Structure 1
Amino acid sequence: MTSETMPLTTLHTLDEVTDWVRRQQHLYVRWSLGPEKDLHETSSRDELTGVPLPGLSVSSLDVEPWWEDRPMRIWVARRLYDYCHLPRHRGDGVRPWLLRGRESGRGPDNEPLVDDIVPLAWIAPAVIEEAVKEVDNQPGPWGPVERDS
């Protein structure tokens, strides 16, 4: 079975992703070829040194307390937007998917590393397009986390 055929639901709107975040904690997004490939070896590698890490690199979708009563939709849009450059940098087939996991450490960029992974859903490209529009409509400019090569 390939990541394209793994039987996961697909979330098609930003509101669907936001509803998941509203209902559950310990949700993360991972940009990769998918759980089928990632779960063979649940360890990312530090790109600079090649050192294996104690879990997969992910972005947390959990809302931080300092966000208070601000719109959760904007929180989720921002979290998805921050790494939307990864498909361009990592190649064909890289796409976001939603998972639940347990933090097992921090990576070299202070990103969460998770194990005990439960794949939950693919995140459709339309969701990322919505997230970009949501971010673009905010009063302050910011861009995705991107490093020059």
Structure 2
Amino acid sequence: MPVFSSLDALSDLVTQRGQLFVRWSRGPAVDLQRGSSMDDLTGAAMPGLSASPLDVEEWWAGRPVRVWVARRLYDYSHLPRVRDARTRPWVLTGEELGRGPDNEPLVRHVCPLGWIAGQVIAEANDIVTRQPGRWGPIRRDGTAP
């Protein structure tokens, strides 16, 4: 699978194409074999893979796409540390069919487009930490990032 090695390349893809998502997991080989995500709290199988949307929302109103994409990557960048060191981000396209328990899109008919390199995550983290305000990755354990 190809690798997106710069935030600019990933941002260009987001600008050119719709229905893009990022998923943090062990990868498409594992995920597509399973076919769906599971709710961590209840163990219920969901009807698709949980993912984060990369498409820029209208309310973003001309702000830099790079900052949008950086924030979307930053939100779950803690997962390799807290869930499984083999967890990596990858870009996919597919059909959104509903929402999971955290209001995340559930995607079916998944087509993997590429891995996201570690340096892209580092670049995203740098961009987000330089923004005004207080941003942090989405976490459930109540600890600071």
Bin of the TM-score, shorter chain as denominator length = over 0.9
Instruction: Give unpaired runs (5+ residues) of structure 1.
Output: 1-7
- Displacement of 1:92: 2.0
Please tell me whether residue 97 in structure 1 is matched to residue 90 in structure 2. yes
Please tell me whether residue 120 in structure 1 is matched to residue 113 in structure 2. yes
TM-score (norm 2): 0.96
The runs of 4+ residues in structure 1 deviating greater than 6 Å are none
CA distance in 1, matches of 2:125, 2:41: 29
- Displacement of 1:89: 1.4
Instruction: Give unpaired runs (5+ residues) of structure 2.
Output: none
| Equivalence map 1:39-54=2 (5 Å) | 39-54=32-47
Aligned sequence identity (%):
57
CA distance in 1, matches of 2:85, 2:79: 10
Which residue number in structure 2 is paired with residue 18 of structure 1?
Answer: 11
CA distance in 2, matches of 1:10, 1:116: 21
- Displacement of 1:90: 1.4
CA distance in 1, matches of 2:30, 2:53: 20
Q: CA RMSD in A?
A: 0.9
TM-score (norm 1): 0.93
CA distance in 1, matches of 2:55, 2:43: 28
SS in 2 for 1:39: helix
